[in-house]
Amino acid sequence: MIRYVVYWLAAANGITFGLMIADKRRAEAGARRISESTLLGWSWLGGAIGAYAASRIVRHKTRKQPFATKMIMLCAAEIVLLGLWALGLLDPLVT
């Protein structure tokens, strides 16, 4: 079961990272953008670290408020939860 959680987090972060990069490229080209709700939704589903990484790498949505604050809060929550899980203090998926 733990393996599937790791797969999900890797996929969610990869997808969110890709969406952030694609949105940056669309913004530069003046094309139709990816909605903030889509980006935050994928962040909420486990892709917050990917969203944060992409925002720093391509400097996208770093000043856009309240989006940036929400993204940072989700990233911090994801890191805390992953840390607790890694330490064995949070293990809701044991079957």
Look at residue 71 and give its three-state secondary structure.
helix
pLDDT of residue 95: 47
Is-contact 50 16, C-beta < 8 A? yes
Residues in contact with 24: Cβ distance below 8 Å, sequence separation at least 6, in sequence order: 54, 58, 60
Mean pLDDT of the chain: 88
CA distance 40 to 68: 10
Average pLDDT value for residue range 8-29:
95
What integer is the mean pLDDT of 46-62?
88
Residue 94: partners with Cβ closer than 8 Å, 6 or more residues away: 1
Q: What pTM value is reported for the model?
A: 0.83
Does 73 or 62 have the greater pLDDT score?
73
Q: Predicted confidence band at 31 (pLDDT cuts at 50, 70, 90)?
A: very high
